[in-house]
Amino acid sequence: MRYPIVIHKDEGSDFGVIVPDIPGCYSAGDSYDEALQNAIEAIQCHLEGLLLDNESLPVASSIDNWINDQDYKDGVWAMVDVDLAQISGKVKRVNITLPERVLNLIDLYGKSHSVKNRSSFLTDAALDFMANHK
């Protein structure tokens, strides 16, 4: 799942990171690149904690949902990709049947949107669907 983050830098400080879609999720880094990497780790840890507490995972939105928010007006926006399949604990292999056309569409979408693999795509899609259809 791709989460929007906002990175800010005050003079004499590290690069700070806020994840607007995940209240309370923050990170930082000595450099812009380190801030991006640390943001991914912070999101994974935060989501893992939510799972351990049996809470639902926040669905990622687009930058457009936040870009006009005054709390983030001086920041630089980025998107980070978090593989939810990696944080959900034990992985279980399943056998599913899909129409070949749908499988081809998943693969095409994945290639054009830098999706790591089918499992990651299907995990993100299922969680997104459930969060939006409560």
| Tens of pLDDT, residue by residue, the chain (134 residues) | 889 999 999 888 899 999 999 999 999 999 999 999 999 999 999 998 888 888 888 888 999 999 999 989 889 999 998 877 777 666 678 889 999 999 999 999 988 987 878 888 888 888 778 777 76
Structure tokens at 79: 């998107």
Q: Please give the C-alpha separations between residue 18 and each of 51, 64, 73, 93, 129, in angstroms, as whole numbers.
A: 20, 15, 12, 34, 25
Domain count of the chain? 1
User: CB under 8 Å to 5, separation ≥6 — which residues?
Assistant: 17, 18, 19, 20, 36, 39, 77, 78, 79, 80
The pTM of this model reads 0.68
- Could you tell me the residue range of the domain that residue 91 belongs to? 2-132
Question: Which CATH number characterizes residue 104's domain?
Answer: 3.30.160.250
